[in-house]
Amino acid sequence: MPLPLLRMPSGLQSQGSGGKLKFDDQSSQVASVVVTRTACLVGLTRDGVPMLQSREWPYGKGPGIAVKRRRLLLAAFLLLGTSACSFTPDYVAPAMPVPTAYDAPDASGGSIARTSWREFFREPELQRLIGEALENNRDIRIAASRVSEARAAWRIEGAALYPQLDAVSGYSRGRTLANIPGAGATMVSSEQISAQLSASWEIDFWGRLRNLRDAARWQYLATEEARRSVASGLVAQVANGYLLEREYEERIALARNSISTREESLRIMRRRYEVGSGSKLDMMQAQTLLAQARTTLYGLEQDRAVNRNALALLVGHSIGIAPGHLSLAEAPEGLVLPPGLPSELLLYRPDILAAEYGLRAANANIGAARAAFLPNISLTGAYGTMSDQLDGLFSSGSEAWSFTPSLRLPLFNAGRLKGNLDVAKAREVRAVAEYEQAIQTGFRDVSDALVQRRQLQKQIETTRDMLGAQRERARLAQLRFDNGRSAYLEVLDAQRDLFDAEQALVQLRRAEISSIVALYSALGGGFVADQTFQTNSTESDRGQTQ
């Protein structure tokens, strides 16, 4: 018969096919249960069968003292040896479910994700708004409080690895019935005063506490990245709100210029009608065109007021924006670079980092759930004084101490530990899906921003050509009308189309700059090079997890 991988103590016997075990003494029972349980969980088998599942244990009878000692030594050896093993699954990052490169030409010079928001947005007014938003926004405060909460939870889990020391004092007084020789049953009063230092320590043989600490640490880092994600999104929202403010400002200026021009045209048409050189139809058409321009102006002013309210909510207080001018030349052209490979997206986008840290936390929780199946070893001790009189509490001979090592082996818990392990595994599956989803979302955001950037550039070029043609058309239509070669309706149509083209060009220029902001935000830019929003402890905390 081949030798088993682990020889069980000779005092352990099989009792029938029911798998019930009989131990010849209490010490053998403790040693054998620990050995058997540990061997099963770490994968030790006999003839390919897990030892806990084996029906036969043909290893002799009647153990002597030497055999009993060997059992205890073997149990201790397995405990110490298994403690060096890790029950945490090896972390392997899932493959990225996206193409290896974006559908865009590569560019040299680095990525805009490495550029701080102060360098990316160089207009002082916009920098002021972003700074105030990062300081006052309520979403930022909520995210910061979650970071503080997660960091405190990490400290709590880490504290469980160390011995706990408490000062304990007590006073008790009672009266009980006692049988005193010579006196019979009588009531006896007792009084006791104690003052002790109590210490307790759970020895983390299997890494359960370490895994819980690591899971809390990864969760803290995920929360920190979530805060960065909120801040990055806030920067993009403020920037887009500011760009809309500049767009409305320029479009309102165009509308007011158009109103002035159309008011002059209406005045001329009314004068010509009054002197009989013009028709009432021409005058009504000019009045209609003026009303349309005024309606457009009122709508733009309404939209600007709504946008300012949204900006005030982001910044955290009412705002006042100095007049300015939206110019495409103010866009950070030198920083607009295609992002390269998805690995770069993985490095800089906060929500992807948060998803990865969450996956690592779920991985560590599996290790903690596995370790919970193994024996729990703890040491408890106390030292102090005890007396029945307060003045004798610190006198010689009143010292009292205790030392209690204990081992707790889970035998039956109605599937609670197995359920905890299943929960941890299910959460890891969910974390993997969330990680992959974050990568896919990030890839889509970047791809959308690149497509918008390219297409908007083409639309701007076409609209500029159209605007030049509309201006020439309006000039020729006015010239033909002045020479009596066309009706005023032709002038009105040309002026209306010219106004629409001017408005469209402003909108497209703002949309192009917004696409740059969207690309910057999609790559996680804003807080990679900028250290304002990062705590000094975050980088060191991240380093401890490596």
What are the pLDDT tens digits along the chain (546 aa)? 333 333 333 333 333 333 333 333 433 343 444 444 444 443 444 444 444 343 444 444 445 555 555 555 555 555 555 554 567 888 877 777 766 666 554 443 346 777 888 888 888 888 899 999 999 999 999 999 999 999 999 999 999 999 999 998 888 888 787 777 766 677 777 788 888 899 999 999 899 999 999 999 999 999 999 999 999 999 999 999 999 999 999 999 999 999 998 898 889 889 988 888 888 888 898 899 999 999 999 999 999 999 999 999 999 888 877 666 555 344 444 444 444 545 566 667 899 999 999 999 999 999 999 999 999 899 999 988 887 776 666 777 778 888 999 999 999 999 999 999 999 999 999 999 999 999 889 888 888 888 898 899 999 999 999 999 999 999 999 899 888 888 888 888 898 999 999 999 999 999 999 998 998 888 887 665 444 444 444 545 555 554
pLDDT at 325: 56
The reply to whether 496 and 532 lie within a common domain is yes
In a domain, 94, yes or no: no
Query: Measured between alpha carbons, how far is 180 from 162 in angstroms, rounded to an integer?
Result: 47
Residue 26's Cβ-count burial label (10 Å; 0-12, 13-18, 19+) is exposed
Q: Which residues pair with 298 in a beta bridge?
A: none
Distances (CA, A) of 375 to 68, 109, 163, 422, 436: 20, 57, 18, 20, 37
* Nearest-10 Cα torsion for 202, 206, 208, 213: 90
Number of H helices, E strands in the chain: 12, 8
CATH number for position 536: 1.20.1600.10
| CA dist., res. 68 & res. 73, Å (int) | 9
Alpha-helical (H) ranges within 92-160 are 117-120, 124-136, 138-159
Same structural domain, 176 and 71: no
Q: Is 352 in the same domain as 460?
A: yes
Report the C-alpha gap between 514 and 247 in whole angstroms: 11
Q: Which of 178, 197, 203 is nearest to 188 (CA)?
A: 178
Beta-carbon neighbour count of residue 203 at 10 Å? Answer: 16
Q: How far apart are CA 29 and CA 38, in angstroms?
A: 14
Amino acid at 122: R
Answer yes or no: is 17 within a domain. Answer: yes
- Structural Rg of the chain based on CA atoms: 40
415 and 516 share one domain: yes
Residue 536, domain member (yes or no): yes
**What is the crossing angle of helices 280-315 and 488-522, to 10°?**
10
Residues 146, 219 contacting (CB under 8 angstroms): no
Q: Is the dihedral of CA 103, 108, 109, 110 positive or negative?
A: positive
Q: The tokens 């974050």 sit on which residue?
A: 438
CA distances (Å), 288 to each of 18, 217, 499, 533, in order? 99, 67, 14, 54
523: left (phi over 0), alpha (psi -120 to 50) or beta: alpha
pLDDT of residue 423: 95
* E strand or H helix that includes residue 173: strand 164-180
**Contact status, residue 426 vs residue 366, Cβ threshold 8 Å:** no
Q: How many domains does the chain have?
A: 3
Would you state the structure tokens that stand for residue 121, as one six-digit string? 């947005």
- CA 162 vs CA 155, 209, 364, 382: distances in Å: 12, 10, 19, 16
CATH number of the domain bearing residue 179:
2.20.200.10
Q: What is the spatial distance between Cα 137 and Cα 457, in angstroms, rounded to a whole number? A: 34
- State the number of CA atoms in the 13 A half-sphere of 407 facing the CB: 12
Supply the pLDDT for residue 71. 58
Helices 280-315 and 124-136: crossing angle, nearest 10°?
50
CA distance 499 to 300: 14
Please tell me whether residues 494 and 525 are part of one structural domain. yes
Q: Which residues contact 41 (CB under 8 A, 6 or more apart)?
A: 82, 370, 373, 374
β-strand 184-203 against 13-15: which pairing, if any? unpaired
Closest by Cα among 42, 38, 46, 33 to 7: 46
pLDDT in the model for residue 484:
83
**330 is a domain residue:** no
Range of the domain at 477: 112-161+204-320+338-375+410-544
Residue 88 lies in a domain: no
Interior CA angle at 502 toward 498 and 506, to 5°?
Answer: 165
Same domain for 154 and 297, yes or no, is: yes
Which helix or strand (DSSP H or E) is residue 10 part of? none
Q: Within this chain, do residues 260 and 384 fall inside the same structural domain, yes or no? A: no
C-beta separation of 47 from 87 below 8 A: no
Whether residue 237 sits in one domain with residue 209: yes
Domain shared by 132 and 195, yes or no: no
How far is residue 62's CA from residue 13's CA, in Å, rounded to a whole number?
A: 10
What does pTM read for this prediction?
0.74
Question: What is the DSSP code string of 271-286?
Answer: HHHHHTSS-HHHHHHH
Predicted confidence at residue 345, as pLDDT, reads 63
Widest distance between CA atoms in the chain: 143
- Residue 487 vs residues 305, 307, 471, 480: alpha-carbon distances, Å: 39, 41, 18, 8
Q: Is 86 left (phi over 0), alpha (psi -120 to 50) or beta?
A: beta
3-state secondary structure of 85: coil
168 lies in the same domain as 212: no
State how far the alpha carbon of 149 is from the alpha carbons of 11, 104, 153, 432, 457, in Å. 53, 42, 6, 24, 46
The stretches of 483-524 forming alpha helices (DSSP H) are 488-522
| Domain-located, residue 185 | yes
For residue 115, what pLDDT is reported?
Answer: 80
Q: Is the dihedral of CA 322, 327, 329, 335 positive or negative?
A: positive
Asked whether 481 and 487 are in contact (CB, 8 A), the reply is yes
DSSP states along 456-492 = HHHHHHHHHHHHHHHHHHHHHHHHHHHTTSS-HHHHH
Residue 402 falls inside a structural domain: yes
Q: What is the pLDDT of residue 335?
A: 42
Straight-line distance from the first to the last Cα atom of the chain, in angstroms, rounded to the nearest whole number: 47
* In-domain check, residue 106: no
| 212 and 197 in a common domain | no
Closest listed residue to residue 265, CA positions, set 287, 291, 281: 287
Amino acid 92: pLDDT: 79
In degrees and rounded to multiples of 5, residue 132 shows phi and psi of -65, -35
Assess whether 391 and 287 both reside in one domain.
Answer: no
